[in-house]
Amino acid sequence: MDHLLAALRAVAEATRLRLVVLCARGELTVSELTQILGQSQPRVSRHLKLLCEAGLLDRFREGSWVFYRLSHSGPASTLARQLVAACDETDPTISLDLQRLNAIKRQRAEAAGTYFRENAAQWHRIRSLYVDEREVEAALVEIISTADPRDLLDIGTGTGRVLEVLAPQVQSALGIDQSREMLSIARVNLERARLDNASVRLGDMYQLAVPDASFDAVVIHQVLHYADRPATAIAEAARTLRPAGILVLVDFAPHALEFLRNEHAHRRLGFSDTEVAEWCRATGLDPGSPRRLPGDPLTVVIWTAHRPAAATSRFAQGSRQATTGELVTGEVH
């Protein structure tokens, strides 16, 4: 009861209620909220601090930026959603806030579209070398739906496409990427798809800012060939898996297209089933049978590995090795 009373006190003020309504419609920075409300940044920041302390909003930092969104856990989050649903969008104040929010979202979409157009040619060239991405996505949906996870992590989310495809299969989905430009595109795509259970964060795949055993499924889609330490990235992903969780790796089988290394920053020209299986076993995961999707000239492989239902010492050992960088079997430097 005390938590609910604190939440009610926190939201019982016009500006703070407006902030809750806005943050229910996407992840917003302090500057964006200041622009919408027409108030000073210190004042808006104070309101946001109270709402976060009451459990109504979540706050997360992305470099020098700080984002806010409606909380998705705890009793206060249920109250927040009920309050948002009770607010009339035709109310003059709320209506104006939403108009300004839509203008900001249009600006985001335009910026993301410009970045995508400037880089689309090289992406399309690479995609023409392998099987239609829709076949890969269909295979991912089949694997994830069979595993039936609750919480999913997408490492190297890029434009958020994997989240778009898999978020409907889970309760919550988080994408992590090291590129702010890519995350801007991903946010636009997720908002357009109305996927309220999916979010993205800036992060390093070698040092994920998430707790141990916090996800039932982790996906690394077409990322490992850029990695200088793919085994360590796999170990870090494995660290985040709960017992009985599944790791899904999507990348290329070994190939000889050197131009991908010279022109597109591919560090590895594909991976063998043996080395991927060794990396997974080293972190305490049990590899499954690879699924191959032949293309011309590249073959896409989907590797899976499961965390045993009972925790073992191998999990701890794999996490320690990931931290110290000992997992280097088969890497090219």
Q: What is the CATH number of the domain that holds 50?
A: 1.10.10.10
Q: pLDDT band for position 327 (50/70/90)?
A: very low
Do residues 198 and 306 share a domain?
A: yes
Do residues 298 and 210 share a domain?
A: yes
φ and ψ of 309, to 5 deg: -60, -35
Position 57 scores a pLDDT of 93
Position 324 scores a pLDDT of 36
Do residues 40 and 148 share a domain?
A: no
Q: Please say whether the beta carbons of 235 and 319 come within 8 A.
A: yes
Q: What is the pLDDT averaged over residues 49-55?
A: 93
Exposure string for 154-173, b = 16+ CB within 10 A, e = fewer: bbbbbbbbbbbbbbebbebb
Do residues 91 and 138 share a domain?
A: no
Position 312 scores a pLDDT of 45
Question: Is 70 exceeded by the pLDDT of residue 331?
Answer: no
Do residues 183 and 290 share a domain?
A: yes
Position 71 scores a pLDDT of 87
Residue 8 sits in which domain range? Answer: 2-100
CATH number assigned to the domain comprising residue 189: 3.40.50.150
Beta sheet of 65-70, edge-to-edge order? 28-29, 65-70, 57-62
Q: What is the pLDDT averaged over residues 8-32?
A: 91
* Ramachandran quadrant class, 290 (left: phi over 0; alpha: psi -120 to 50; beta: rest): beta
Q: What is the pLDDT averaged over residues 84-100?
A: 93
What digits encode the pLDDT tens for the residues 130-147?
999 999 999 999 999 999
Any domain includes 331: no
Q: Which amino acid is at 245?
A: G
Of residues 94 and 321, more confidently modeled: 94
Q: What is the pLDDT averaged over residues 35-51?
A: 94
Do residues 175 and 283 share a domain?
A: yes
Q: pLDDT band for position 116 (50/70/90)?
A: low
Q: What is the pLDDT averaged over residues 320-329?
A: 37
φ and ψ of 248, to 5 deg: -120, 120
What digits encode the pLDDT tens for the residues 231-275?
999 999 999 999 999 999 999 999 989 888 778 878 888 999 999
Number of domains, the chain:
2
- State the alpha helices, DSSP H only, in the chain: 2-11, 14-23, 30-37, 41-53, 75-86, 92-127, 133-147, 161-166, 180-192, 230-239, 258-264, 273-282, 313-324
Which of 23-32, 79-88, 124-133 is the least confident region? 124-133
Q: Residue 70 pairs with which residues in a beta bridge?
A: 57
Any domain includes 109: no
Q: What is the pLDDT averaged over residues 172-195?
A: 91
Nearest to 301 by CA among 205, 221, 216: 221
Percentage of residues in the chain having pLDDT higher than 70: 89
What is the rounded CA–CA span in Å between residue 50 and residue 56?
Answer: 9
Of residues 306 and 113, more confidently modeled: 306
Q: pLDDT band for position 17 (50/70/90)?
A: very high
Position 318 scores a pLDDT of 44
* Ramachandran quadrant class, 222 (left: phi over 0; alpha: psi -120 to 50; beta: rest): left
Do residues 84 and 142 share a domain?
A: no
